[in-house]
């Protein structure tokens, strides 16, 4: 009886795996098609300085728009792109597109800063810095206008290789940011070894402010630590005035989140002219 049930369980389990494998294969096939058919676009979410409510830059966020108009969020396809290696090609396109955006804005007189997310596979690519350099040269985008976001987990593993890669990128003149900060396990002394410019506090620590005093302590500690280490600090996923008050009181002035703006397509960035975002009537 127990054996039969065990067998059944096994059967269902393997069926699930099978479905997951099928879904992955389907996404992989569709991703190849998406690359060929140019179904990717970048959306941009502003990063705001809450002291004057001005935009200090944007994060580029990848969107996959299917021919039927449906939009597939990155968390559904980036893991597949990563595990199949397709992320390298897609990621290269993202860097080109972000640099072309910078260059278009530069030619209109706007000095815009764009942050681009890197995946683990891209970050360990020996040719990454050379590729970025080529793109910067070809697009005439200023290196200071480009930031790369990497996660803590990419810095673990082979630390020396990671430091070498970060230095190669830094030597191009781009800025480096640690995304989703607090979700990994970097210690203070560990962090000090990496030539980064910025920490982005993960949204999971921000979302329950001001109810969760534990999270508030963590956020305050990260801000204090960033200041001691001379790192810029940005809070992700800011949605409420209470969260802004808390961050302001703790001297974290850079924020991203739906409170100010969702990520938008380039043609919908009405605030690209760097006017104050929150009180447009005052301009």
Binding site for Mg ion (CB under 5 A): 117, 149, 179-180, 202-203, 236
Rounded to the nearest whole angstrom, what is the least distance from the CB of residue 146 to ligand C2E in the complex?
13
* 78 binding ligand C2E? (CB under 6 A): yes
Query: Within its chain, how far is the Cα of 78 from the centroid?
Result: 12
Nearest CB to ligand C2E, comparing residues 133 and 239: 239
Annotate each residue in 2-41 with x if it binds ligand C2E (CB under 6 A) or - if it does not, as one string: ----------------------------------------
Q: Minimum Å distance from CB 257 to Mg ion?
A: 11
Closest to 150 (Cα-Cα) out of 111, 126, 108, 179: 179
Q: Helices 159-172 and 128-139, interaxial angle, to 10°?
A: 10
Which of 92, 97, 125, 179 forms a contact with ligand C2E (CB under 6 A)? 179
Phi, psi of 28 (to 5 degrees): -60, -45
The two tokens of residue 187 are 């210690």
Residue 8: CB minimum distance to Mg ion, A: 39
* Both structure tokens of 21: 């494998």
| Total of chain residues touching ligand C2E, rule CB under 6 A | 24
By beta-carbon proximity to ligand C2E, the closer residue of 143 and 257 is 257
CB 31 within 8 A of CB 235: no
The encoded tokens of residue 49 equal 């300085």
Q: How far is CA 171 from CA 175, 195, 224, in A?
A: 10, 11, 28
Asked if 188 interacts with ligand C2E (CB under 6 A), we say no
Please choose, from the candidates 170, 92, 79, the residue with its C-alpha nearest in 3D space to the C-alpha of residue 162: 170
Verify binding: residue 92, ligand C2E, rule CB under 6 A: no
Interface with ligand C2E (CB under 6 A), residue from 28, 133, 197, 239: 239
Q: Which of residues 30 and 259 has its CB atom nearest to Mg ion in the complex?
A: 259
Q: Is 265 in the site for ligand C2E (CB under 6 A)?
A: no
Closer of 60 and 191 to ligand C2E (Cβ): 60
Q: What is the nearest approach in angstroms of ligand C2E to the Cβ of residue 90?
A: 7
**Nearer of residues 17 and 71 to ligand C2E, judged by Cβ:** 71
In the list ligand C2E, Mg ion, none, the entry touching 61 (Cβ below 5 to 8 angstroms by class) is ligand C2E
Own/partner pairs, 92-99, CB within 8 angstroms, 24+ separation: 92/131, 92/135, 93/35, 93/40, 94/40, 94/42, 94/60, 94/62, 95/131, 95/132, 95/135, 96/135, 96/139, 97/42, 97/60, 98/42, 98/60, 98/146, 99/135, 99/136, 99/139, 99/141, 99/146
Here's the x/- map for ligand C2E, 47-76, by CB under 6 A: it reads as: --------------xx----------xxx-
Tell me which of ligand C2E, Mg ion, none is bound by residue 139, counting a contact when its beta carbon lies within the kind-specific cut-off of 5 to 8 angstroms: none
- Residue 44's H or E segment, with its range, is strand 40-49
Question: Can you give the binding site for ligand C2E, defined by CB under 6 A?
Answer: 45, 61-62, 73-75, 78, 91, 94, 117-119, 149, 179-180, 203, 236-239, 256-258, 263
């Amino acid at each position: 009886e127990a054996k039969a049930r065990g067998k059944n369980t096994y059967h269902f389990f393997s069926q699930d795996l099978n479905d997951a494998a099928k879904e992955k294969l389907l996404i992989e096939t569709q991703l190849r098609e998406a690359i060929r058919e140019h179904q990717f676009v970048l959306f941009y979410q502003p990063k705001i300085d809450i002291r004057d409510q001005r935009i200090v830059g944007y994060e580029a966020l990848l969107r996959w728009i299917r021919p039927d108009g449906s939009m597939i969020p990155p968390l559904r396809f980036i893991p597949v792109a990563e595990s199949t290696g397709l992320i390298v090609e897609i990621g290269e396109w993202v860097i080109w597109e972000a640099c072309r955006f910078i260059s278009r804005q530069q030619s209109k007189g706007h000095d815009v800063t764009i942050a681009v997310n890197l995946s683990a596979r891209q970050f360990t690519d020996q040719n990454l810095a050379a590729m970025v350099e080529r793109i910067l040269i070809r697009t005439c985008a200023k290196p200071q206008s480009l930031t790369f976001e990497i996660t803590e987990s990419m810095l673990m593993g082979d630390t020396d290789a990671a430091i070498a890669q970060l230095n190669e990128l830094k030597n191009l003149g781009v800025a480096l940011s640690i995304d989703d900060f607090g979700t990994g396990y970097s210690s203070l002394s560990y962090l000090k070894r990496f030539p980064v410019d910025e920490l982005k506090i993960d949204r999971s620590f921000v979302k329950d402010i001001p109810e969760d005093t534990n999270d508030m302590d963590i956020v305050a500690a990260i801000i204090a630590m960033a200041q001691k280490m001379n790192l810029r600090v940005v809070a992700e996923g800011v949605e409420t005035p209470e969260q802004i008050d808390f961050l302001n009181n703790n001297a974290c002035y850079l924020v991203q989140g739906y409170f100010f703006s969702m990520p938008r397509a380039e043609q919908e960035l009405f605030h690209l002219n760097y006017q104050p975002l929150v009180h447009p009537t005052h301009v």
